[in-house]
Amino acid sequence: MPKTKTSKEEVLNKIIPILRVRGVQNSSMNELAKACGIQKSHFYYYFNSKEALIKEVLSIVYSYFNYNIFKIIDHKSLTLPDKITKVKHLMEKLFKASDGGCIMANTALETIHLNPTYKKEIQSFFSDFIKGVQRLLESNYTSQESIVLAEQIVQDIEGGILLTQVYTDPKYLNNAIARMEKIILKQ
């Protein structure tokens, strides 16, 4: 048997899409390992446990989101409409229904009443999500208005991700994103 050469990063990037679609509980170590072309025993060389594996996955997703959204928002030479366009693209990528929607929301609902391990990371994700939207609002709204509106927009989007998956219809997420744009631009 030829040994398959892999790395921890490679493995993580391969399993994120699977966990997003199938969920944490519905993805076995065996299944995840097979998808990477390695034995599951080798997973325990990279990670101490399934829990440790999931923690690293969520950490990577969080870092990716955090880095990209604030890179857009804090960009010096982008106009507000340009920033909105880029943020929309980021969301469409991260929340695409056919790819399983929002892995943070999925994992939250799957684990939050059972296992507090992932709670911090999930909270950080949503805090940054809200904070990012809030920043986009602050040019047209007061700080107080911005925070409430940002929460509303994030709730609308997450609910839209849910309905888009329930009905296999992108309109719910698209409507939420369109509403976000209108609110930010105060149209």
Partner DNA sequence: GTCTATAGATCGATAGAC
Partner DNA sequence: GTCTATCGATCTATAGAC
Supply the minimum distance, in Å, between the C-beta of residue 116 and a second copy: 10
Query: Residue 157 binds which one of a second copy, DNA, none, with CB within 5 to 8 A depending on kind?
Result: a second copy
First and final CA of the chain: distance in angstroms?
Answer: 63
Vertex 177 angle, CA 104 and 95, to 5°: 30
Residues 96-125 that bind a second copy (CB under 8 A): 100-101, 105-106, 108-110, 112-114, 119, 122-123
Alpha helices of the chain — where are they, by DSSP H?
A: 8-22, 29-36, 40-46, 50-73, 80-94, 103-111, 119-137, 143-167, 171-184
- Please say which residue, 38 or 153, places its beta carbon nearer to a second copy: 153
The structure tokens 């995840």 sit at 32
Supply the minimum distance, in Å, between the C-beta of residue 165 and a second copy: 5
132 forms part of the interface with a second copy (CB under 8 A): no
- Please say which residue, 30 or 98, places its beta carbon nearer to DNA: 30
Q: Output DSSP code: residue 38.
A: S
Kindly list the residues in this chain that would bind DNA in the complex (CB under 7 A): 1-7, 27-31, 37-42, 44-45, 48-51
